[in-house]
């Protein structure tokens, strides 16, 4: 197992390199880079990407060549100074290799527009995304797996029918609509005013006791996490149910029951390991998706300033150091979680040996 883990860790390096390279090439072709936006602001042009692109440049390729249409009225030395400020006085390959060298030291540079180091921005926003991603994923699995097993063992009963109805409703309505409904009902929208609408903690958080801080923390997270779980637990529940139903009908289960084993012993001693493999396989994608992309709208609705919102705003503003810094973090975390998922395979079912399959 150790040799397999070492090989997987070493594979992270070329994977990260490939992902960064592909995204770097794509971003170079995107219109409205930071140099163009700065020139646009200096000339009084709209700060939007579309407006800046229309008057200033024909695309990111002009950053490399130094052709800025609409900048003819500015001093050429000022244009060169702006390019040096954002590192565009170097060619694209030079910028890429310089970025990789810095990333080896986990130096993500400084934000173009926020006057702060990318590392500091990530550390500042990380608690929000960790809180949303970790707790919502944990609760989703704690609810979905037992519910899926219960539905499989009671297939076709009224319990299965009613829970399926609830699951379909949860699947059909997006998380952000549930979030808006929760605000209307429980956050002073039109009815009750039980939960806060903004932030991860209260303004007097530091003055609270330890238990008070824990309570305040989960008080603020209650509605965002509820919205995320309700909008995402349907797929996992049905996946668990169908996986267990598929195993229940197999011959080894019939044989185990014929030997006189109890239903509980058959379910958790024989079926569980095989049925849970497909559920575990989806954990990395579910966690990373919930951690970042799935929480973007939730962060906006509940005024939670996390990594999802930071990444989106940085992409819109062409804040390249923040874009690549968060991309690096997302990718590294996703690869690490995938490795953990593979190791969990072997813990659930010791018959699985990834190392022997590689030979």
Indicate if 297 and 205 belong to the same structural domain: yes
Indicate if 75 and 24 belong to the same structural domain: yes
Beta-carbon contacts of 22 under 8 Å, excluding residues fewer than 6 positions away, are none
Domain holding 250, by residue range, is 119-357
Indicate if 131 and 86 belong to the same structural domain: no
Indicate if 185 and 69 belong to the same structural domain: no
**If DSSP codes are grouped into helix, strand and coil, which group holds residue 72?**
coil
Count the alpha carbons within 13 Å of 180 in the hemisphere toward its beta carbon.
5
Give a yes or no: residue 246 inside a domain: yes
For residues 88 and 35, the answer to whether their CB atoms sit within 8 Å is yes
Give the pLDDT confidence score for residue 342 in this predicted structure.
75
Indicate if 97 and 136 belong to the same structural domain: no
Indicate if 100 and 132 belong to the same structural domain: no
Give a yes or no: residue 183 inside a domain: yes
Give a yes or no: residue 129 inside a domain: yes
Give a yes or no: residue 346 inside a domain: yes
Give the pLDDT confidence score for residue 351 in this predicted structure.
65
Give the pLDDT confidence score for residue 162 in this predicted structure.
92
Give the pLDDT confidence score for residue 70 in this predicted structure.
45
Give the pLDDT confidence score for residue 159 in this predicted structure.
92
- What is the domain count for the chain? 2
Indicate if 159 and 197 belong to the same structural domain: yes
- A 10 A CB-CB count for 84 gives 12
Indicate if 55 and 159 belong to the same structural domain: no
What are the Cα distances from residue 162, in Å, to 154, 156, 157, 351?
A: 12, 10, 9, 37
Indicate if 100 and 129 belong to the same structural domain: no
Q: State which of 105, 136, 170 marks the end of a domain.
A: 105
Which residue pairs from 215-223 have beta carbons closer than 8 angstroms and sit at least 24 positions apart in sequence?
Answer: 217/131, 219/195, 220/195, 220/196, 221/131, 221/132, 221/135, 222/195, 223/179, 223/182, 223/183, 223/186, 223/187, 223/195, 223/302
Give a yes or no: residue 269 inside a domain: yes
Q: What's the whole-model pTM score? A: 0.72
Q: Which residues of the chain have a pLDDT value below 50?
A: 45-72
Cα angle value 62/63/64 (rounded, 5°): 90
Indicate if 315 and 218 belong to the same structural domain: yes
Indicate if 54 and 142 belong to the same structural domain: no
Indicate if 213 and 243 belong to the same structural domain: yes
Give a yes or no: residue 313 inside a domain: yes
Q: State which of 44, 79, 105 marks the end of a domain.
A: 105
């Amino acid at each position: 197992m150790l040799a397999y883990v070492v090989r997987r860790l070493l594979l992270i390096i070329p994977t990260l390199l490939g992902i960064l390279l592909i995204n770097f090439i794509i971003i170079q072709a995107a219109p409205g880079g930071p140099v163009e936006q700065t020139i646009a602001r200096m000339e009084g042009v709209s700060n939007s990407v579309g407006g800046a692109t229309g008057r200033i440049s024909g695309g990111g390729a002009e950053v490399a060549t130094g052709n800025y249409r609409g900048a003819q009225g500015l001093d050429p030395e000022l244009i060169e100074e702006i390019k040096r400020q954002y590192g565009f006085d170097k060619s694209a390959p030079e910028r890429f290799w310089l970025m990789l060298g810095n990333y080896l030291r986990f130096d993500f540079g400084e934000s173009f527009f926020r006057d702060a180091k990318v590392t500091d921005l990530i550390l500042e926003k990380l608690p929000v995304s960790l809180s949303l991603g970790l707790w919502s994923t944990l609760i989703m699995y704690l609810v979905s797996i037992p519910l899926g097993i219960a539905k499989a063992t009671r297939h076709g009963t009224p319990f299965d029918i009613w829970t399926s109805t609830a699951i379909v409703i949860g699947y059909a309505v997006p998380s952000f609509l549930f979030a808006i409904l929760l605000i209307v009902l429980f956050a002073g929208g039109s009815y009750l005013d039980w939960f806060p609408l903004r932030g991860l903690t209260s303004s007097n958080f530091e003055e609270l006791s330890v238990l008070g801080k824990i309570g305040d923390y989960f008080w603020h997270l209650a509605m965002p996490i509820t919205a995320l779980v309700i909008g995402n637990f349907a797929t996992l529940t049905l996946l668990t149910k169908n996986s267990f139903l598929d195993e229940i009908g197999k011959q080894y289960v019939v044989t185990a029951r014929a030997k006189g084993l109890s239903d509980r012993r058959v379910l958790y001693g024989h079926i569980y390991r095989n049925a849970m493999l497909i559920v575990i396989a989806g954990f990395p994608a579910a966690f990373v998706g919930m951690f970042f992309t799935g929480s973007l709208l939730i962060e906006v609705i509940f005024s939670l300033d996390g990594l999802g919102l930071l990444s989106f705003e940085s992409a819109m503003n062409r804040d390249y150091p923040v874009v690549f810094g968060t991309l690096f973090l997302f990718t590294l975390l996703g690869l690490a979680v995938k490795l953990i998922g593979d190791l969990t395979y072997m813990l659930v079912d010791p018959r699985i040996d990834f190392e022997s399959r590689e030979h």
